[in-house]
């Protein structure tokens, strides 16, 4: 195992009927005003908004609002939020929603004490951060683990860029997770979220690290669980036990613990390749991963079949054949699973044309080289998109 420092300060309040506790947690820091950030109508339909704001009102906490956060959140909403908190000071940011809302809230919290454009923080100036507004969130859709990590992913359409900010100052102080409110999520969102959970886990498993059998075993267990949970929730979306395990798997997959001892902390090439699809074509994040991860794995497995072969055996029980054959069988079974839950596994199915591949490759290559199992450059990136077609 490589040396590491792991620190995760987020308090998670998990379970049924926990949403009103957001007000107690804010009262503990003597907050008088908190900017509530959310997306669309879902939190009004499922009662989450009412539960949270009634509790805030009872505690005498004012809650100015910033709605309209979209999936694949953009920097314009962050700028709007930063302007709001600079014009009228608040004590905290309260995201109520899924990963896009949490990411937007984190970026607002970071930008609140930054003198320049908050996009600067996504372009390498995060080291200049010295503080951020505290974040107290209510999660309504599990997938990205933004509720338990220090990462925010935001797009800048004007620059055709989608990238991340990572800073210890933007860990949520408290995240409320009530899995029962997620039973009303559309099936597509449950499927895409589950694929994202699996990807966060597999991006550690596939990085080629040695001496991390404990973390790998935990990762295999998460993936095996998701292979059972996603189909169950497609059929029985109100199954609380399945929904709760799904929600906690999301947090465990990307809270940083699976990276311990790995050195490079995982290979997130599939995410980077998927970001260009979301940015340029508006494709849901999880849907991009069902296409890009198998394509990336097929491009690389012959160079280092070991992590893929281990995955095939631990997750799918593949034992026959040599290491390369087991690796390929595992990739094919993963892709077959994605298809079985209704996910697209090719760019064609996502309505991306063959003529668009070079544009995709140029966009992704702007952030190259990237990758741990193999450092990908422009030619590699183009070939992976071709494989995905």
Encode 38-68 in three state secondary structure.
ECCCHHHHCCHHHHHHHHHHHCCCECCEECC
Q: Which of the four CATH numbers 1.20.1090.10, 3.30.420.40, 1.10.1060.10, 3.20.140.10 does domain 186-388 have?
A: 1.20.1090.10
Q: Are 115 and 158 in contact (CB under 8 A)?
A: no
First to last CA, the chain: 38
Q: Facing residues of 36 across strands? A: 65, 94
Q: Assign 3-class secondary structure to 190-206.
A: HHHHHHHHHHHHHHHHC
Q: Checking DSSP bridges between strand 151-156 and strand 161-166, what pairing results, if any?
A: antiparallel
The per-residue pLDDT for 325 is 98
Per-residue pLDDT of the chain (389 residues; tens, 9 = 90+): 999 999 999 999 999 999 999 999 999 999 999 999 999 999 999 999 999 999 999 999 999 999 999 999 999 999 999 999 999 999 999 999 999 999 999 999 999 999 999 999 999 887 888 899 999 999 999 999 999 999 999 999 999 999 999 999 999 999 999 999 999 999 999 999 999 999 999 999 999 999 999 999 999 999 999 999 999 999 999 999 999 999 999 999 999 999 999 998 899 999 999 999 999 999 999 999 999 999 999 999 999 999 999 999 999 999 999 999 999 999 999 999 999 999 999 999 999 999 999 999 999 999 999 999 999 999 999 999 999 99
Return the CA Rg of the chain. Answer: 20
Dihedral class, residue 254 (left if φ above 0, else alpha if ψ from -120 to 50, else beta): alpha
Task: For residue 381, give both structure tokens.
Answer: 């990136």
For 151, the enclosing helix (H) or strand (E) is strand 151-156
Express the helix, strand and coil content of the chain in percent, nearest 5 each.
55, 10, 35
Q: Which fold has domain 11-180?
A: Rossmann fold (3.40.50)
- What ranges do the domains of the chain cover? 11-180, 186-388
CA angle 282/285/291 to nearest 5° reads 100
- How far is it, in rounded angstroms, from Cα 127 to Cα 17? 38
**Reported pTM:** 0.96
CB 361 within 8 A of CB 254: no
Per-residue confidence (pLDDT) for residue 99, from 0 to 100: 97
Q: For residue 170, with 0-12 CB atoms within 10 Å meaning exposed, 13-18 middle and 19 or more buried, which class applies?
A: buried
Q: What are phi and psi of 12, to 5 degrees?
A: -105, 120
Task: Give the single-character DSSP code of 114.
Answer: -
Torsion, CA 306, CA 310, CA 311, CA 317, rounded to 10? 140
Place of tokens 């699996």: 198
Nearest to 330 by CA among 348, 345, 347, 308: 308
pLDDT score for 53: 98
- Under DSSP, the state recorded for 355 is G
């Amino acid at each position: 195992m490589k040396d590491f420092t792991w620190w995760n300060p987020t308090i998670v309040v998990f379970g049924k009927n926990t949403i009103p506790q957001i007000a107690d947690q804010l009262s503990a820091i003597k907050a008088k005003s908190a900017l509530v950030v959310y997306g669309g109508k879902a939190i009004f339909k499922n009662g989450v908004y009412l539960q949270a704001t009634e509790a805030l009102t009872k505690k005498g906490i004012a809650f100015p609002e910033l709605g309209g956060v979209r999936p694949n959140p953009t920097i314009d909403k962050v700028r709007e939020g930063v302007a709001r908190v600079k014009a009228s000071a608040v004590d905290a940011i309260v995201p109520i929603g899924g990963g896009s809302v949490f990411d937007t809230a984190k970026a607002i919290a970071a930008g609140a004490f930054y003198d320049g454009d908050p996009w600067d923080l996504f372009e390498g100036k995060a080291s200049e951060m010295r503080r951020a507004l505290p974040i107290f969130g209510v999660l309504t859709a599990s997938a990205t683990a933004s509720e338990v990590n220090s990462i925010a992913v935001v797009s800048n359409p004007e620059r055709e860029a989608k990238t991340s900010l990572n800073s210890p100052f933007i860990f949520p102080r408290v995240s409320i997770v009530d899995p029962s409110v997620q039973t009303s999520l559309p099936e597509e969102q449950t499927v895409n979220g589950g694929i994202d959970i699996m990807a966060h886990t597999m991006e550690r498993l596939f990085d080629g690290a040695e001496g991390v059998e404990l973390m790998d075993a935990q990762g295999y267990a998460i993936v095996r669980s998701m292979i059972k949970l996603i189909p169950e929730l497609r059929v029985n979306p109100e199954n609380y036990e399945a929904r709760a395990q799904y929600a906690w798997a999301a947090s465990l997959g990307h809270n940083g613990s699976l990276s311990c001892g790995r050195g490079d902390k995982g290979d997130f090439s599939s995410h980077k390749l998927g970001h260009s699809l979301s940015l340029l074509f508006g494709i849901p994040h999880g849907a991009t991963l069902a296409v890009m991860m198998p394509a990336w794995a097929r491009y690389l497995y012959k160079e280092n079949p070991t992590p893929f072969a281990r995955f095939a055996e631990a997750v799918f029980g593949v034992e026959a054949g040599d290491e390369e054959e087991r690796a390929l069988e595992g990739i094919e079974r993963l892709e077959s699973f994605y298809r079985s839950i209704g996910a697209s596994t090719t760019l064609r199915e996502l309505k991306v044309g063959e003529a668009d591949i070079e544009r995709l490759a140029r966009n992704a290559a702007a952030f190259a080289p990237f990758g741990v199992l193999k450092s990908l450059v422009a030619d590699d990136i183009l070939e992976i998109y071709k494989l995905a077609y």
